[in-house]
Amino acid sequence: MLVSRRPGALAAWGSAFLAGVESADHTDEAVRDEDAVHRVVGVPGEDTDVTVAVALGRLRVVGVTALRLVLPEPGDLTGLAGPPATNAAATAAGSAVLTVGPFDAPSLALVPTSVESDRGAVVRWDVMPVERTVAPHGLPTLAEADRMVAEAMREATESLDVLDVARGRDEVASRLSGIERGLRRLDLPAALPARAQRLVVTGSRLFAITLIAAESDGGAVTARTVAERADLLRPLRRAARYALCAGYSSLADPTSGADVTGR
């Protein structure tokens, strides 16, 4: 499973549905992918949990025009404006999908949790209030995120060969191969600009590599060296997270060049 695939898929496919260029059923199927079921709890106008398709339909009725991905971590809540309970839930989950719309539309977050079953993952999305803010509340645009990734990669590779974490480690090499297989089957809506699709792939790959690198001691032989490697990986991981946020959220970004008119 690619990091952030579920919330990223909801942000991208949900935005395409809200723009009228994807059907509800296709969007529901794309978000669910190989999971057993997705249910959304707390949707405006609904007393019980509903499917993703029903939830998106309700959100469109109340004025939501797009969705935006955020990937908060402890110490970095960029993209979240509060309240504290929503920030805490999103940080614990590692992700949230925020609604975008005019001033009279509700400002909400959809926060995922999942449990495994014998039929696959059962995913719950809790709808929580979000303080209204000027989107995207500190997150970079598509162009800014693209430059950030390039700069972070250049700076990291000057001091650390991040891509060499699998040397001599069959289990790590297997994980890297799994990431590439996942990227080859990554399903993104056609409305997502080509630049955004490339950024999603790059961000997914880099984020996964930084996680693997953090778990591997590589050439580190002392605690100090391990700490230095962690310091070098941190900005690359941040750039990868921001790239994913910008790429998956590009249909909510008026500067992305996306054409969602259906032409």
Cβ neighbours, 10 Å, residue 44: 13
Average pLDDT, stretch 91-96? 96
* CA torsion through residues 97, 81, 50, 43, sign: negative
* CA–CA gap between residue 218 and residue 4 (Å, rounded): 25
Tell me, yes or no, whether 182 lies in a domain. yes
- Concatenate the DSSP letters of all residues of 181-226 into one string: HHHHT----TTS-HHHHHHHHHHHHHHHHHHHHHH--TT--SHHHH
Tell me, yes or no, whether 253 lies in a domain. no
Judgement on whether residues 87 and 196 belong to the same structural domain of the protein = no
Tell me, yes or no, whether 209 lies in a domain. yes
Interval 185-213: pLDDT, tens? 788 999 999 999 999 998 988 888 887 77
pLDDT at residue number 218: 52
Tell me, yes or no, whether 154 lies in a domain. yes
DSSP for residue 43: -
Residue 216 binned pLDDT confidence (cut-offs 50, 70, 90): low
* CA–CA gap between residue 22 and residue 66 (Å, rounded): 13
pLDDT at residue number 262: 45
Judgement on whether residues 14 and 111 belong to the same structural domain of the protein = yes
Judgement on whether residues 163 and 216 belong to the same structural domain of the protein = yes
Residue 142 contacts residue 68 (beta carbons within 8 Å) = no
Question: How many domains does the chain contain in total?
Answer: 2
Judgement on whether residues 11 and 128 belong to the same structural domain of the protein = yes
Domain that holds residue 96: 5-134
Judgement on whether residues 36 and 109 belong to the same structural domain of the protein = yes
Judgement on whether residues 149 and 216 belong to the same structural domain of the protein = yes
Tell me, yes or no, whether 251 lies in a domain. no
Tell me, yes or no, whether 180 lies in a domain. yes
Judgement on whether residues 114 and 147 belong to the same structural domain of the protein = no
Tokens of 149: 């990734």
- The rounded mean pLDDT for the chain is 85
Residue 246 binned pLDDT confidence (cut-offs 50, 70, 90): very high
The amino acid that residue 164 corresponds to is D
Judgement on whether residues 106 and 177 belong to the same structural domain of the protein = no
* CA–CA gap between residue 191 and residue 259 (Å, rounded): 7
Domain end call among 108, 134, 160 = 134
Tokens of 86: 């929503």
Please report, for residues 80, 102, 194, 240, the alpha-carbon distance to residue 107 in angstroms, rounded to integers and kept in the order given.
11, 9, 28, 26
Judgement on whether residues 110 and 205 belong to the same structural domain of the protein = no
- Burial code of 76-90, b = ≥16 C-beta within 10 A, e = fewer? bbbbbbeeeebbebb
Burial of 42 (0-12, 13-18, 19+ CB in 10 A): middle
Judgement on whether residues 45 and 128 belong to the same structural domain of the protein = yes
pLDDT at 177 over 90: no
